[in-house]
Every structure is written in structure tokens, then in C-alpha cells.
Structure 1
């Protein structure tokens, strides 16, 4: 029997990349899923691609408190309650110290941190006791110049996830995170890269990752679903999906 047959889930940032891979894996195992995104063009593309009665594609901006409240009402009306919550949305923009603006700093924290926290707050009443929550963080033990705002916003998310794991213990809700390293996606996880910059970023991933390649979105999805359904005695863990990148491994070849 499928792990997710009859289960209900929400995946934020589920219209592309790692989020969409999580959605597809859930649907393939029988789950009913609400997935969110901001771009109407991408939302429509995903509706056409999935063509599933158990996939509910919803426009929702994580930086908007009104959108978060509307998402919670939609989930309540369509699903009633949920078994699994995947907080996957986020943005990353390159800017070194003197290039970071107040607007870009606020954009990172409004979406990646504030949006994540208040989405959890809004959906928590709908998450069933014994359910699970999985955040997408980042392999932050290795420092990338130019990603100070992004890294800080993801570290803040990880910090409150620690506390939520403790707060939700009485309800036996497990709170964990996947921390991806270099993962091959159309944008390589960073907004605004040119095709040449994207290829260079991917090349760096191949060279600096101990396993000598970029990961796939499917590998991240496998880890996320493992934490959601199989790791029943695991909570407050950040699970690296990075080919050994943040573990200090050195290839001898």
C-alpha cells in the first residue's frame, strides 16, 4: 500500500523545481495536494502538466498575509485537514555587501522567513495530530559570497523550526528540514542568472560537491517524503541532500 494513499498535503512553492518534484511524488503515491505559486503563467503551465483531480493549484504569495489567510481558508474548504505540510517556497538573489538594498533584504525575509512562519501559523490548526512538517532550508555550513540575505533568511527559518519541533511535541507532529546543496533546476535556485551564469553555477557544483555532480530535484523529493512519512522516530533534524558538500568530505580522485 502506498505511503500517501488517502493522505492530504500542502506544498508551498510547488510549481517548479524541488517543490514540483515533491508534488509529483506525492501524487504518484496517492496523496491529494494543494500546491502554491505566485506566477499565473507558471500556475497555468502546472495545471496543464499535472491534469490531476487530486492536485489543487492555488495562487498564493507568501509575502502577503492576506494570501496566507486565503490559502488556509481554501485548504479548510477543499481538504478539511492535512497530514503533511511542506514549506518549500523561497527566493535567492545574488548581491554582495555594497549591493544589498533594504528592499532586497526585506524581500528575502518577507518571503523566506516571515512567509514561512505565518504560513505554518495559519495552517497549523488544520494539521492533524501525528502529522509532519518539512521545511526546505539550504546547505548553509558552506558560505557563498553574495548570498548574505538569502543565507540569513534561511538560517532564521531553521531557527524557528527548532522551536516549532518542541512546541508541537504534545501533538506528536514531527518537524524536520531538507537542506539541499547544488541541485540542478532551470534557475539553479537563484533568480536573475543568465544562461551562462547558470551553467557556471552548475559547473561549480560538479567540481565542489564530493560526489562530483549536482543533485536532482527527485533526490530532494525522495528525502522530503522520507522525512514526512518514513522517519517516524525523527524530529528536529536538518537532513542534508548535498552530495557531501556541507560535511567537509574531500574527494581523493
Structure 2
């Protein structure tokens, strides 16, 4: 497949998990990909897998100067940008009654502020035919006990797509949300273990965890012209978790 042939993409959180799976799929479909992440060792390992059509920039989405360096690198090498997959995010568990201001700030700085500036700083490089894909979560629809800040931040990401689709009318740039459910990433393995993943996966209608490659395939669809009549939409790739 060459749906993304000649396109330039940026994937934040692109060194592991869903981001790395999407980078692999984008490159398979003809794109040139910049991955952006906080750990140099993970970036180096990802580049070794991705090959010649990838570059890596180290930094955090919550640091505007890091994002400026990212887009300066894109402009210097490629001149323009076709796809932004704002995938960097995270969250930790704190029950109601235990939530702290620091916990809220950390979650929203990455998931909301980071998403906003990742997209805002990309726009000068984008034009007609551009695609913006935001990573949401099934938790943004259903909620998740113990994950108040995370669930709220992902609900905010869903609304950003609606708002930005309105603001980008007439530009030819689309913006959509990709919302995974339980996905067998390195982070999920470390946090849940094998038995925890089985229990989480059993909550879906398909009775299993998703594979990062399945989420990457959906990201490639939203990035490509195959989804050309979609904007402000949410694509749930969650095994039915938030749909039933």
C-alpha cells in the first residue's frame, strides 16, 4: 500500500507502543516520519527498526521550545508537513479523595496542553490535504475509576477536534480523534502484567487486548485520503469497550 506516498508525518510519543506501530505503518505506506519523544534510548531503538525514512527529535510536548526544535527540523529537511499524529500522553491512578494539584497538572500538561501546542505549532507547515490525528481514549467516553484526571483530559481532547474542525474550515486540513481501548503496549504490560491484561481485555466484546499494530492501521486510515470526508470525528478502536 502507498496511501501515504510522499507525505511527511510527525508522530509524538513515537518511540514505543502505539506511536511506534503507527510510524511503522506510515513508512510502509510511503510516508517520511519524524518521531518525537523524551527518551533518547527509546528513540535510538525505534530508528533502528524504522530505517532510512525516519528521523528522531528528543523532547517533551509540554515544552514549547522542544516543539519549536521539532518543527524547525521538519521545515529544514522536508519544507512542509502533511500529517500530525498527536499521540504523546499518559496518566496515573489516583482515586477521588486522593487527587492532588500536581497530579492534575502533570496529566493535563501532557494530554491537553501538549496536544494543543503540538498542533498549533505544526499549522504553519501544513496546508490543504493535511490531516491531524489526536489520540483520545475509551476512558474519555466511559470514564475509568481511579483515573479522573486522565479520563477528563481525554474528554477534552475529543472536544479539541470538534472545535478545531470548525476553526480550520476552508483550509483543507482535517482533524479527527483516534480512541483506543485496552492495548497491549509496553506500558500496559509493565503496569498490568499478564493476568491484568487478560482481565482488562476480557472487558471488551472481542475478549482480548488490542495490538498496537491495529491502532497504527487506524491511524494510517485517518492520515490518508481514504478518510477524506471525515473531520471532527472520533474513530473508536477499542474492541467495543466504550460502545456497548
Q: Under a length normalisation based on structure 1, what TM-score does the superposition of the two structures give?
A: 0.91
* Aligned residues of 1:85 and 1:127 also touching (Cα < 8 A): no
Aligned to 1:247: 243
Structure 2: gaps spanning 5 or more residues: none
**Residue aligning to 2:132:** 133
CA drift at 1:184: 0.9
What is the deviation of 1:78?
1.6
**Correspondence for 1:10:** 10
Secondary structure of 1:116's aligned partner: helix
Q: State the secondary structure of the residue aligned to 1:11.
A: strand
Using the TM superposition, give the Cα deviation of residue 205 of structure 1 relative to its aligned residue in structure 2, in angstroms: 2.2
SS in 1 for 2:205: coil
In structure 1, how many angstroms separate the alpha carbons of the residues matched to 2:82 and 2:152? Answer: 29
- Displacement of 1:142: 2.1
For residue 217 of structure 2, what is the aligned residue in structure 1? 222
Structure 1 residues 200, 148: CA separation in 2 closer, same or farther (over 3 Å shift)?
farther
Q: Which of 199, 205, 214 does residue 210 from structure 1 map onto?
A: 205
Whole-Å Cα distance in 2 between the matches of residues 74 and 188 of structure 1?
31
Distance in 2 between residues matched to 1:2 and 1:223, nearest whole Å? 15
The residue that corresponds to 2:99 in the other structure is: 100
Q: Distance in 1 between matches of 2:158 and 2:146?
A: 20
Aligned 1:130-169 pairs, distance under 5 A: 130-139=129-138, 140-169=140-169
On the 8 A contact 1:12/1:19 being kept in 2, the answer is yes
- Name the CA distance, whole Å, in 2 between partners of 1:228 and 1:53: 21
Looking at structure 2, the residues matched to 120 and 143 of structure 1 have their Cα atoms a distance apart, in angstroms, of 25
Q: For the Cα contact (< 8 Å) 1:6–1:32, is it kept in 2?
A: yes
| Corresponding residue of 1:116 | 115
RMSD of aligned alpha carbons: 1.5
State the Cα deviation string for residues 74-123 of structure 1 (Å, max 9, x = none): 11112210111111000121111233221121111111100110111101
| Per-residue deviation, 1:128 | 2.1
8 Å contact kept, 1:2–1:29: yes
Tell whether 2:87 aligns with 1:88. yes
Offset of 1:156 from its aligned partner?
Answer: 1.3
Deviation at 1:187, TM superposition (A): 1.4
Q: Deviations over 1:193-221 (max 9, x none)?
A: 2xxx3334312222210111111111111
- Partners in 2 of 1:97 and 1:198 — Cα distance? 25
The answer on 1:236 being equivalent to 2:235 is: no
- SS of aligned partner of 2:85: strand
Aligned residue-pair number: 242
What is the CA-CA distance between 1:71 and the residue it aligns to? 1.4
Distance 1:63 1:206 in 2: 31
User: Which stretches in structure 1 are left out of the alignment for 5+ residues?
Assistant: 249-253
CA distance in 2, matches of 1:30, 1:117: 27
Taking a change above 3 Å as real, the CA distance of residues 231 and 172 of structure 1, as seen in their structure-2 partners, is: same
